Structure 1
Amino acid sequence: MKVKFIGGAGTVTGSKTLIESNGIRILIDCGLFQGVKPLRELNWEPLTILPSTIDFVLLTHGHLDHCGWLPRLVNQGFDGKIYCTSPTKDITKLILLDSAKIQEEEAKKANEGKYSKHQIAEPLYTVEQAEKVFPLFKVIKTNEPVSLDAQIEAVFTIAGHILGASSIALTLENKTLVFSGDIGRDDDVLMYPPTKPKKADYVFLESTYGDRLHPHTDTKLELETFINNTVENGGTVIIPSFAVERAQTIMYLLWQLREQGKIPYIPYIVDTPMGINALNIFSSNIKWHKLPLEVCAEMNKMFSLVSDYQETIEMIFDEQPKVVIAASGMATGGRVLSYLEKYIVLPQTTVIFVGYQAEGTRGRKLLEGAKEIKIHGQYYPVKAKILEIRGLSAHGDQKDLLNWLSDLENKPSKVFLVHGENEPLDELRIKVYEKYGFDCKVPLMGQEFEL
């Protein structure tokens, strides 16, 4: 049995782990690379193996860095089954369609504005190509074994993080391989705690926050303070947000604050078509999160839900103070860029980041103090206040990741640390060894191991 790391190794994006056993090939996740240009360029490269030789894809969840390369995989010949939970199927459809639309729009803008380095800019994939993925989905239930082959079995368990997110235990050749996916927080506002594995011969553990602990700050108080200070100065608050789960968490906190009379009655806007559709998925998957259905309904009434781009233009040029939640969460694309073009040059604006910002993304650059930012081929001076609320991350921190390993009844042969940048990976490696004595390996991109 072999494992090959063809994504998500030494970086937090592009998750792809290939397992090969007795002629069967299984790909765990099929994510898009994001961030610095050398990583983004990998999205255009063919896989090191033929997609047509992959038998199954197992999806841990529907974020772009875990599912966003599926249209390329299918376009290049994959026609096997894609196993996932029901919410993951629905979310992945939204994510892929949104991603395809954004890429088509950006290619069109680049061609019209002539700011592409290519003679003709092309999207990585089209809406039509994204739609060809959907017939391959096969929905499974959590905690119920799924036979992929006569001697291969998979069990999906709740991972927290977002709706439908799962860890996957894969049993083959009398060994159990456990893939964490993205691990949620033990004390998340909306999601239930992750299910901890009991047995594993090999563990593949995400390491996004492997070197840090989430601060014990009052997240609601931070939101309240930032919004009130901005509104007093006549400014607008822009919250770049992942459309799935983070947007709903922020909406819930803002609803609570306004119900308590702690923030003003100004327009509160959710401007992400995908986020609006995600609200429907949220309401129809009550067992996956903590919010009662009636609270979801009341919360939604507080917000102007913008889907038509003409409405977006009207909101942008409405200069009254407002709070805007718009995708994407790392400001790599989406409607939030249209707001930033107008508002990032104004000192009374506040931009609040609420999730992990990968290396090379606009979000990371802004948090690191960039004086100007490039959007759609133009540079804009950064005059707005750039703030971060770290307590809203959907990822477990170092303590949560270590705790996720705490119920293992045996000592794994190896723990592979993936989906992290270099410092978090190395820090978590040390911590796992100190706490449990587990042998940890930090694989490099493209590296292959025999298990």
Structure 2
Amino acid sequence: MDNFVRLNFLGASGVVTGSKFFVETSEKNILIDCGMFQGLKELRELNWVNLPIDVGTIDVVLLTHGHLDHVGYLPRLLKQGFTGKIIGTAPTLSIAEIILIDSAKIHEEEAKKANKEKYSKHNPALPFYTKIEAEETIKQFQVEIPDKWIVLSEHISYRFQYNGHIIGATFIELDINGKRFVFSGDIGRQNDYLLDDPKKPEWADYLFIESTYGNKLHPNEDVEDILSTLIKETIHKKGNLIIPSFAVERLQTLMYLLWKLYKKNKIPNIPIFVDSPMGNNVLEVFKRFPKWHKLSDSDYNAMCNHINIIQSYKETWETIDNKRSKIVIAGSGMVTGGRVLTYLQQLIDEPSTTVLLVGFQAEGTRGRLLQEGAHEIRFFGKYYPVKAQIKTIESLSAHADQNDLLNWMSSIKNIPEKVFLIHGEPTALDAFRVKIKDTFNWSVTIPKLTDIEKLLL
């Protein structure tokens, strides 16, 4: 085997989203993750550009977890000639299937709406991929179990290790010719409400580590107290509390917290609606894979019975028209699409409405605009004044903060030859680079999009 590896940084390099890392060797070519870019328009436009590699030469795709910015580009990969297996843990592939089918439906609906109302500059507006293309992609899924080394070729093997963050998530260890490449994926937090603590790598010759919160510590907030105060204020104002939420993990965590608050008599029995077809499907994944989370069967059932699960778009409008004070949890978490847009379109101009943001809001998203105090917001080609109160809870993030990230790295016994900082905005990347240097004295690189690095092993 030739003693080299060529790394192609095709996403999540200098930016948070679009995770794609192409590892070329003389035996196998491996793509780690295959995500969509989200956020800024110039990033989203990159989704429509073919990858600058020969996609037909990729032998296998390994997935760290099922979020859109790690799996959402897969149907486009097939379109460009990929024919190999897409491998992940069972919950990861279940989540990826839900997300691909759901986002395909959204792509098709948005293209249809844009063509009907003529607000797109493209004529005709096309879906990024279709439901049929998503279904073809899912046929190439292959489940592997965690904690076991899987041989890919004579000198290459890989292993998935539990990583918290969302159900099924792992970091990936890739052994190539005796050298270990560790891809962190997204790292979860200590003491998560629903998930166990992430495992930690013990050896890394080349480390690829996420830096989403590389410059921040999560605030030490009393989440239960903040939620109960906001809910009581909502009832007092005879208004609505709208929580844009990621369908995977965040939505289930919110359901659990609200159920727990009611059980402890910290909030009255206010109606709670979950309006996320994808979130409903993710609840089923929790039911199917009990060993991947901390909820008991009885708690899971009680939590689900306490919440009103919306099944149809007709029910969405019935919920909006219902004048009672209520809590609505709806996708998407960064207000980029999904059912939450329908609620905000109708209710964001009412002072009695509170919008609670509960996760990372990427640059260029509506969520970030609301967080930064935008006086108006654009949906479906029209502007709506923002009269609602905008609140944020930062400590519900599923991402490790700077201390968690350093803790995750702390069990690595050797000094890595190189550390690549990925999945971060420039300020987070640079702050984390300095922190790693000060803490471990390791050599740190911040790759940019489309960078290529050749390593001699």
TM-score of the two chains, using structure 1 as the length reference: 0.99
Provide the secondary structure at the position in 2 that maps to 1:82: strand
Counterpart for residue 334 of structure 1: 338
Which SS does the other structure have where 1:223 is aligned? Answer: helix
Residue matched to 1:361: 365
CA distance in 2, matches of 1:342, 1:373: 12
1:389 match: 393
1:97 aligns with 2:97: no
Give 3-state SS (helix, strand or coil) of 1:363's partner. Answer: helix
- Partner Cα separation in structure 2 for residue 23 and residue 141 of structure 1: 23
Q: Hey, what's the Cα distance between the residues in 1 that align with 2:399 and 2:387?
A: 30
- Structure 2 residue 148 is matched with structure 1 residue 144: yes
CA RMSD of the aligned region, Å?
Answer: 0.8
The share of aligned pairs that are identical, in percent, is 53
Which residue of 254, 274, 298 corresponds with 1:294? Answer: 298
**Residues 95-142 of structure 1, C-alpha deviation per residue, up to 9 Å, x if partnerless?**
001111111111111111110011211110000000111111111111
Paired letter, 1:354: V
**Residue 69 (structure 2) aligns with:** 65
- Which residue of the partner structure matches residue 157 of structure 1? 161
Match in the other structure for 1:318: 322
Q: Equivalents in 2 of 1:143, 1:307: separation in Å?
A: 37
Residue 123 of structure 1: aligned partner:
127
Counterpart mapping for 1:338-417 below 5 A: 338-417=342-421
Correspondence for 2:12 = 8
Alignment of 1:188-337 (within 5 A): 188-337=192-341
Q: Give the CA deviation at 1:263.
A: 1.3
Whole-Å separation in 1 of the counterparts to 2:216 and 2:44: 26
> Hey, what does 2:454 align to over in structure 1?
450
CA contact (8 A) 2:421 2:447 kept: yes
How many Å separate the matches in 2 of 1:322 and 1:291? 25
Stretches of 4+ moved more than 6 A in 1? none
406, 421, 434: which one aligns with 2:425: 421
Structure 2: segments with no counterpart, 5+ residues: none
Long gaps (5+) in structure 1: none
Q: Is the 8 A contact 2:27 2:153 kept in 1?
A: no
Q: Which amino acid aligns with 1:301?
A: N
TM-score (norm 2): 0.98
One of 52, 55, 59 as aligned partner of 2:56: 52
2: CA distance between counterparts of 1:225 and 1:50?
A: 54
Instruction: Tell me which of 5, 8, 19 is aligned to 2:23.
Output: 19
Match of 2:82 in 1: 78
| Alpha-carbon shift at residue 265 of structure 1 (Å) | 1.5
Pairs aligned (count): 451
TM-fit CA distance, 1:23: 4.8
Name the aligned partner's letter for residue 339 of structure 1. Y
Structure 2 partner of 1:183: 187
**Which SS does the other structure have where 1:333 is aligned?**
coil
CA distance in 1, matches of 2:225, 2:153: 52
